[in-house]
């Protein structure tokens, strides 16, 4: 069992960070409920995390954490995007006709991918969790152990995103009612707003 310690450490640490309610998870949950581009979006999230985790384990975490200007730029851009998406979510909740048509409205693949990439790379928390935190903790392992750690973390991210995207349809009976979509979008708007405010607060704004 000892030989699997690095793998298990990376797996459970990554899972504990990814499962927290956030902008990216809320987006995947909604797309999963709508059954729109689920595979592509989950794959993008999983591959993006794989790249970021690999970069962190390879030592990029030290570089990112030592560049306040880079973190500030990403934070400002991410906050602006989150506030805009929150406004869109509140608008959907405010318009009942939009809610009833939500299950039939089709978001283009291009727009969905753009939003997914924005949620992934415009959120400083993603870099802090995957690159900085996971990357720095990998220093306790060497050689093959560090590789196992990275693979464990990548597997956790992959399982989570695909589980969330395809597991969302189990909630479909609940979201057959327009009121449920209204509640979901209000919650999504609140989550996006809270994260945006927390990001700006971290900059002292």
Q: Is the pLDDT of residue 12 over 70?
A: yes
Q: Is residue 205 part of a domain?
A: no
| pLDDT (mean) for 54-76 | 72
Cα(2)–Cα(12) distance, rounded to whole angstroms? 15
Q: Of 109 and 21, which is predicted with more confidence?
A: 109
**Model pLDDT, residue 45:** 95
**Model pLDDT, residue 100:** 45
Residue 3 is classified by DSSP as G
pTM for the full model? 0.74
Q: For the chain, percent helix, then strand, then coil, each to nearest 5?
A: 85, 0, 15
Q: Is residue 155 part of a domain?
A: yes
Residue 171 exposed, middle or buried by CB count within 10 Å (0-12, 13-18, 19+): middle
Q: Is residue 15 part of a domain?
A: yes
| pLDDT (mean) for 31-36 | 90
| φ, ψ at 97 (rounded to 5°) | -65, -30
Residue 107 exposed, middle or buried by CB count within 10 Å (0-12, 13-18, 19+): middle
Interhelix angle 144-167/23-34, rounded to 10 degrees, is: 50
Neighbours of 128 (CB within 10 A): 18
Residue 98: pLDDT band (50, 70, 90) is: very low
Residue 44: pLDDT band (50, 70, 90) is: very high
Q: Is residue 118 part of a domain?
A: yes
| Number of domains into which the chain is organized | 1
Cα(24)–Cα(160) distance, rounded to whole angstroms? 12
Taking a C-beta distance cutoff of 8 angstroms, is the pair 154, 130 a contact? no
Domain limits at 134? 2-200
């Amino acid at each position: 069992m000892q030989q699997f310690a690095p793998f298990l450490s990376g797996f459970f640490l990554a899972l504990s960070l990814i499962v927290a309610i956030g902008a990216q998870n809320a987006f995947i949950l909604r797309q999963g409920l709508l059954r729109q581009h689920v595979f592509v979006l989950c794959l993008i999230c999983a591959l993006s995390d794989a790249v970021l985790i690999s970069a962190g384990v390879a030592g990029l975490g030290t570089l990112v954490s030592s560049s306040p200007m880079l973190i500030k730029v990403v934070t400002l851009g991410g906050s602006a995007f989150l506030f805009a998406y929150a406004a869109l979510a509140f608008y959907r909740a405010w318009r009942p006709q939009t809610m009833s048509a939500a299950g039939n409205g089709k978001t283009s693949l291009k727009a969905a991918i753009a939003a997914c990439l924005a949620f992934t790379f415009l959120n400083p928390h993603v870099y802090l969790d995957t690159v900085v935190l996971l990357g720095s903790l990998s220093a306790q392992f060497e050689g093959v152990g560090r590789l196992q750690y990275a693979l464990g973390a990548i597997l956790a991210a992959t399982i989570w995103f695909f589980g969330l995207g395809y597991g969302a349809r189990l909630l479909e009976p609940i979201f057959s009612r327009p009121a449920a979509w209204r509640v979901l979008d209000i919650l999504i708007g609140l989550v996006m707003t809270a994260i945006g405010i927390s990001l700006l607060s971290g900059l002292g704004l």
